[in-house]
Amino acid sequence: MTVEASFKKQLKYFELDISFSCAEENMMVMIGPSGGGKTTIIRMLAGLEKPKEGKIVFGDEVWFDSLHHINVPPQERCLGYVFQDYNLFPHLNLFDNAAFAAVEKKEVGELLEVFKIGHLKKRKPHMVSGGERQRCAICQALARRPRLLLLDEPFSALDAITRRGLREELKSLKDKMSFPIIYVTHDITEALYLADELLPVVEGKMDNQWLQKMINREPSTEAVLRAAREPRLTLVY
Amino acid sequence: MDYLALYVTLKLAVVTTVLLMIIAAPIAYVLAYYRFAGKSLLEALIYLPIALPPTVIGFYLIIFMGPKGFIGRIWEMLTGGSLLFTFIGIAIASVIYSIPFAVQPMKAAFSKIDRRLLESAYVLGLSKKATFFRVIIPNSASGIAAAAILVFLHSIGAFGVLLMVGGSIPGETRVASIAIYEAVEMMNYQAAAMMALSFIPISYAFLLLINKLNEARS
C-alpha cells in the first residue's frame, strides 16, 4: 500500500504546501530545520490535525479530501505513531503499554524480546531509561499491526550512543516490515543512514537544494541561517 | 448519643459522594478539554454554591422542590409524594451544595494530563469514551480520590441547606449536625459533646489522606 498526500495549511509564519508519496517497504525520511512544518505534516497524516485543503490517500482508501469533506478520524486510520516522548501511559508497566492496542497479545512478549526490553516488562515507564521507553513505544506501535508507521524524531531526546544503536536496530527492522515508514528528523547523518527516499522540508515546502546547501554549508540562504542554530552534526559516521 | 442521626449523616455522605463522582466526571471532562462560547459563565454557575450562603441555596431548593416547584411537581407526578422533608430531598440538596468540590479537583486533575497521551490513545484506535476510562481516569486517580474525600467531608458538614429542605425528621432527615444543634438548644450538652467529638477523628483522618494524595500527585 502506498500513502499519497498533498495538502496545504496556513501555519503561523508560512504556508505549508507539499505533496509526496511513500510506497510500501520504503522508508521516507523527512528532513529539514526545526519549525519547518515536519511535525504538522505527520500530525495531518495521523488525523490529529486537519489540512486546509488537499487530499490524503492510503492505497485505495481516502483518509482526507477537502473537496468531498472526508476526514477519517485517527482511530480508523490504523497506523503507528511514535513521537519524541510521552507515547507511554504512565500508569501501565511496559508490557501493558506495548499490549495497549495489540491485535494479538501473544506477540507482545516476543516484540519486547526483539527490542531487548523483555526483562523490564513489569517496570513502569518512569523506572526505565529514555532509550528503553522509546523501544517500548515502538513495540506499542508495532503491536497494533500498523499499516503505516510514523516516527517523529523518536530518538532525538536520547544520548548519541543510544541513538546510534537504536538507529541501527530500526534499519534492520525496516527490512522485515512491509508497510511504508515515514521518519522525521533534523539530523542529516541519521537521514542519510536510514532513508530510502529523502524529503527535505523547509518552511512548509519541498526544497531539494536544502540538503546540498547544508552539506556544502553555503551560508547564502535564510534556510541555512536557520539551520545554523541547530547543532552541527558531522557527516563522518 | 443520637446514633440514628450519625447513621443518616454517613448514609447521606456516601450517597452524595457516589452520585457526585458520576455526575461531576463528565462535567469536569467538558470543562477540561472543550472550548465553547459561554464556558466561563457555565463554570461560574457550577461553582456558585461555594459563594452563596447555604440558606440561599436552601431557599431556592425549597422553591424548586416544593409542591409548586418544577422538580417537585415532576416528582409528585412520578411518585405521588413530596420531595421536601425526605431523604431523597436532602440527597439532592446535598449534591447541589457539594458539586463545586467534586468538579474543581477533577477538572484540575484532567487538565494536568498531557494532551499527547490522549492523542496517542486516539492513534492507537481508542474512542474518546474508551480513552476516558482507560487513560484519563487511571491517570487522575489521586485527583478523583481528593474530590471524593472533599465531597464526603463537605456533605458531613452540611447544615443550613439540609435544615431548610429536610427539617429534622429522625431517621430520615435529621443528620448529626442538626442533632448537635438541637441538643444544644435543649441544653443537652453531654449528647452534643459526644456527637461533636465523634466528628473530629473522622474529619482529621480524611484530611490527612487528602494531604497524602496531594503529595503523591506533585
Domain residue spans of chain A:
21-46+73-79+147-237, 82-145
Crossing angle for the helix pair B87-112 and B141-156, to the nearest 10 degrees = 150
So what's the pLDDT on residue A51?
93
The answer to whether the Cβ–Cβ distance between B122 and A75 falls below 8 Å is: yes
The pLDDT tens digits for A22-58 are 988 889 999 988 888 999 999 999 999 999 999 999 9
A86 → closest Cβ in B116, B138, B141: B116
The pLDDT tens digits for B40-50 are 999 999 999 99
The pLDDT tens digits for B50-77 are 999 999 999 999 999 998 899 999 999 9
So what's the pLDDT on residue A223?
52
Q: Name which of A41-50, A214-223, B2-11, B117-126 the model is least confident about.
A: A214-223
Crossing angle for the helix pair B54-65 and B70-79, to the nearest 10 degrees = 50
Confidence class for position A219, pLDDT limits 50, 70, 90? low
Strands in A15-22's sheet, in edge-to-edge order, are: A15-22, A3-10, A53-58, A61-65, A70-71
A79 → closest Cβ in B123, B126, B138: B123
The answer to whether the Cβ–Cβ distance between B117 and A86 falls below 8 Å is: yes
pLDDT reading at A7 higher than 70: yes
In Å, how far is A21's CA from the nearest CA of chain B?
21
Helix, strand, or coil (residue A221): coil
Confidence class for position B185, pLDDT limits 50, 70, 90? very high
Helix ranges, A47-182 (H): 74-77, 94-98, 105-114, 130-143, 160-176
Domains defined along chain B, listed by start? 3-32+39-217 (1.10.3720.10)
Which residues of chain B neighbour A40 with C-beta distances below 8 Å? none
pLDDT reading at B155 higher than 50: yes
Q: Is A79 on the interface with B (CB under 8 A)?
A: yes
Confidence class for position A184, pLDDT limits 50, 70, 90? very high
The pLDDT tens digits for B13-39 are 999 999 999 999 999 999 999 999 999
Q: How far is CA A56 from the centre of its chain?
A: 17
B111-122 average pLDDT score: 93
Q: How far apart are CA B24 and CA B22, in angstroms?
A: 6
A182-194 average pLDDT score: 89
Proportion of chain B above pLDDT 90, given as a percent: 83
A133-147 average pLDDT score: 93
Amino acid at A41: I
So what's the pLDDT on residue A86?
76
Q: Which residue of A has its CA nearest to B142?
A: A91
Say if residues A9 and A52 touch (Cβ distance below 8 Å): yes
Among the CATH numbers 1.20.58.220, 3.40.190.10, 3.20.20.60, 3.40.50.300, which is that of A21-46+73-79+147-237? 3.40.50.300
So what's the pLDDT on residue B93?
95
Confidence class for position A236, pLDDT limits 50, 70, 90? very low
